[in-house]
Amino acid sequence: MYQVSYLFSNNNGNKDSIAVTEAELYREDKGYGFVTENNRMRQELLQIAELNSSFEPQYWYRGVELTTIRSDEKGCYMDSSQLLPLSFKCRVPGRGNYNLTIGIDGGTTGVQNLMIFTQRRRLVLRGRNIKPFQVFRDTFTVNVCDIIPRGKTKVYEDTTLDVTIIGTHARITCLKVEAAETLTVYIAGDSTLTDQSAAYPYIPEASYCGWAQMFPAYLRSGVAVSNHAHSGLTTESFRWEGHYEVVLKYIKPGDYFFIQFGHNDQKLPHLNAYGGYSDNLRTYVHEMRERGVYPVIITPLARNTWKGSDGTYNDLLKDFSEACKKVGNELCVPVLDLHGKSMEFIKEAGLEDAKRYFFPNDYTHSNDQGAYLMGGLVAECIREEHLTELEKFISGPAAAWIPPEVIEVPVPPSGFKGAAFSTAFEVKFIDIENCPQKEVICRLTAGGVIRGEDIYFRPEDKITRAEALSYVIKAVSFVQTNVYNDRYTDVIGHEWYAGIVECAYENDLIDSALIAGGRLHPDSPVTWE
């Protein structure tokens, strides 16, 4: 049985554990350590959100060392008044479930509102207060699984476990990782439940979040969540883009398979509610039952949409919600009515108050508080539907997480003139000697914006508008979103660049002269200019 322990305090002489100091930064050859701005900018795999904690610094802090880790006899901590993530990564022997036991010391001042995240920013605990000189310990079950990251088309192996804590003066004193043969909930869906990145300093009400990221906070140890939802996916593209293949590789009899689609299916005529959409749901149910897996259909999360004519709620997903129930009744498969419960909340709150639970200026995608609320509604549905093997792992009602009355979007500090640009990577190109832009190419490659694995740059090759936007966003270090709000008629949500386009739009990077008629022309080649 695999087991490894890490000790972060210097008052414990346990020789069977690995001693970790504040200076231990993660490296591939070592296999464990903290992740900070320092090593993240120098290791390309640490820059892929889905293979890490999914916390990324605001772009105006590029090149700034925000994460200063300290230690004392009680453990490793960060001494900062800002909400900064303290992230630790360790290698595990393979994909599967692990029980993670963590010890947090309150130190001399205590800890208020401790938050613990695992893997891709999945919340497992929030709102915990620790008294001075008190040590808090708890165990959480975590799934390590391969993933197709946003903007990528191939499967990336994931062989590390990530844990992140946020809490002023919270000290990690110990970690223990043990292999666990437990139940797993595999999740298929779209951007309303995917694992979203967040910028730090952390502002939860101004962070995109999918409800499946918050769902683990409602589970006791003994069950893990493996989330394979992505922006723009439909019941069709989840299969042919390869995400379903990853699930089939690892899912086992007795596991659960949650299915929630609809937001993107409704954009495609052949995936209409009672046609292709329902047919695809039936196929997933049959295939999972053949494997001894419990399929569960979830009705699509409601949008905060209202009619301007009379001020009544505008249910844009009614047919898809009803189609889920129809298939559920037909096949005797459980249906969790998240659509009904979320719509009930939105209608009771009203347009303006409900906005506080969505990302600013977005009526589809929730922020962290909204996702936490929706994750709780899913847990409530599980109890009501009596999903026997899963119901016993649902924890009691959690305290509400209320967003502030006024949500302020973070902005660069006064006097900001541009982020520092790192040059940590080697440039190997042998075909750019006579290129007039050689200096720029070298700088972008050294900074990790252009991949430098090949020895040929091919300077005469053309790139598309979408590719150019991806370079700009990476160069400036914008935190990329995993959402798309149908800004342009020729950009569909499941394309690899959809989140890049959304990020570019939100940050005013798209010239209005280039989008006549509401079309971006993402595949058009760009000029040198």
For the entire predicted model, the pTM comes to 0.92
Closest CA to 130 of 166, 105, 97, 98: 105
> What size, in residues, is the chain?
529
Pairing of β 3-7 and β 18-19: parallel
Q: Percentage helix, strand, coil, to 5, in the chain?
A: 30, 25, 50
Whether 145 contacts 252, CB under 8 Å: no
Residue pair 458/488 in contact by the 8 Å Cβ criterion = no
Burial 236-271 (b: 16+ CB within 10 A, else e): bbbbebebbebbeebbeeebbbbbbbbbbbbebeeb
pLDDT (tens place) for every residue of the chain, 529 residues total: 899 999 998 765 567 899 999 999 999 999 999 999 999 888 889 989 999 999 999 988 887 889 999 999 999 998 778 899 999 999 999 999 999 999 999 989 999 999 999 999 999 999 999 999 999 999 999 999 999 998 788 999 999 999 999 998 899 999 999 999 999 999 999 999 999 999 999 999 999 999 999 999 999 999 999 999 999 999 999 999 999 999 999 999 999 999 999 999 999 999 999 999 999 999 999 999 999 999 999 999 999 999 987 889 999 999 999 999 999 999 999 999 999 999 999 999 999 999 999 999 999 999 999 999 999 999 999 999 999 899 999 987 678 999 999 998 888 888 777 767 777 788 889 888 888 888 888 888 887 788 777 888 888 888 898 888 888 888 887 877 788 888 888 888 778 888 888 888 888 888 887 788 889 998 988 876 6
Contact yes or no for 257/284 (Cβ under 8 A): yes
Beta strand segments in 157-309, E: 160-166, 171-180, 183-189, 198-200, 223-227, 256-260, 294-298
In whole angstroms, what is the distance from residue 46 CA to residue 458 CA?
Answer: 27
- Closest C-alpha among 289, 212, 205 to residue 253: 289
Give the SS3 label for residue 433.
coil
Nearest-angstrom CA–CA distance, 268 and 286: 24
Residue 196 near residue 481 (C-beta atoms within 8 A) = yes
The Cα-based distances of 62 to 41, 67, 285, 452 in angstroms read 9, 12, 46, 21
